[in-house]
Amino acid sequence: MIRYKFENKLDKEFATALRTRVNAYFQDNDIQRHANTKMIIKTISVLSMYLVPYFLLILGGFTNLWLLMGLWLFMGVGKAFIGTTIMHDSIHGSYFQKKSMNNLMTFSATIVGVDKLIWHIQHNVLHHTYTNIEHTDEDILPRFVFRYNTNQPHMWFHRFQHIYAPIFYCVPLLEWITTKDFIKVFDYRREGLIKKKDFPMELTKVILRKVFYWIVFLVLPVLLIPVPAWITILMIFASHCITGIMLAMIFQTAHVVEPAEFFLEEDEHVKHSWIVHQLRTTCNYGMDDKVLSWFLGGLNFQIEHHLFPDVCHVHYPAISKLVQQTVKEFNLPYFAFPSFGAAVASHFKHMKEMGSAKDLQVRSFQAT
């Protein structure tokens, strides 16, 4: 895997001005960069959305299939919001300042079936560092069925990808809770992202965390819910599909949309700074929607998150004003959609365009 190097000597004035203003915001207002009371209340609320239905399912003795399905689907929604709020902040280290407390909150990844080590490497290390760079940002790997940008090969069936995408968006989470963590732990060892001396212990931890999830959230429901096992398994599958689609829409609308740029680098040198790279590859949406921001863990402020991943998301609305002011002064891009719906529409429009062969024809014409 290529470790790209950015030209960070560029845009130093912008980077300094932005950091100074954001730091001053916290200092002048005597505010910590980490979680506050609102975040604690949100954590309790979101965990309740996931765990209360779970305990009702395994202890309630319910047999009504509509009620059972409703509880499983509600769990799926709760699982998505745990991912966007508690898990996401804690694995970035932005939940608590105290490392031991922050590590405790990373257990939220285990209860939704995602291994925190693998997520940290794929998301924090690769995606945040090399956003939308081909072959390195795993969030835009084509996976054959999709074509996210013009640097990726075009297949005839990609013309339908904007139609079948929601079906396949169910798959990533199902991969996470079954095979992906085990495949990736070996991949990351080969690529040097997990040190060889640490690998046996890290592999053991991955296995133990996964087994815990399987026992608690698969085996126990099958054994304790008084309906046939195959019905419970189908409902679990439906629950994960809901979570998968929700997470796909939340994350895809931040980077796989029309304004965002994609890069295929010829060598390890990227010809612009990392901070500007984040502005060119990232989009916000629904910034004035407080309800959306609450449930999405501030991920609709994706620009602020990429620039300040060590800041708890509850502070993003405030610092976004500083980011907008600074990019305007330095004449830099700031992509934002007025609503979540507009971002979703742009994502599917982008997918439709990438599924077309027109861009191949244009590039062929230009090359001649």
Rounded Cα–Cα distance for residues 90 and 88 (Å): 6
Q: Give 94: exposed, middle or buried? Use CB within 10 Å, 0-12, 13-18, 19+.
A: buried
Least Cα distance to 355 among 243, 256, 271 occurs for: 256
365 found inside a domain:
no
Q: Which residues of the chain fall short of a pLDDT of 70?
A: 358-368
Q: What is the pLDDT of residue 358?
A: 67
Instruction: Evaluate whether 317 touches 13 at the Cβ level (below 8 Å).
Output: no
Q: What domain range is 237 assigned to?
A: 5-357
Residue 368 maps to a domain:
no
- Residue 364 covered by a domain: no
pLDDT in tens, 121-162: 999 999 999 999 999 999 998 878 999 999 999 999 999 999
Closest to 281 in 3D by CA, of 131, 138, 139: 131
Residue 131 contacts residue 277 (beta carbons within 8 Å) = yes
229 is a domain residue: yes
Confirm if 335 and 258 have CB atoms less than 8 A apart: no
Q: What count of other Cβ atoms lies within 10 Å of the Cβ of residue 141?
A: 13
Number of domains within the chain: 1
Closest CA to 166 of 249, 239, 233: 249
164: which 2 tokens?
């079948």
Is 102 a domain residue?
Answer: yes
Fill in the amino acid letter for 220: L
276 within a domain of the structure (yes/no) = yes
Q: How far apart are CA 73 and CA 57, in angstroms?
A: 12
Contacts by 39-45, CB closer than 8 A, 24 or more apart: 39/89, 39/95, 39/312, 39/314, 42/85, 42/294, 42/314, 43/85, 43/86, 43/105
Task: Return the pLDDT at 298.
Answer: 87
> What one-letter code names the amino acid at 55?
F
pLDDT at 360: 55
Tokens for 22?
Answer: 């954001």
Please give the Cα distance from 83 to 263 (Å, whole number): 28
The pLDDT of residue 236 is: 96
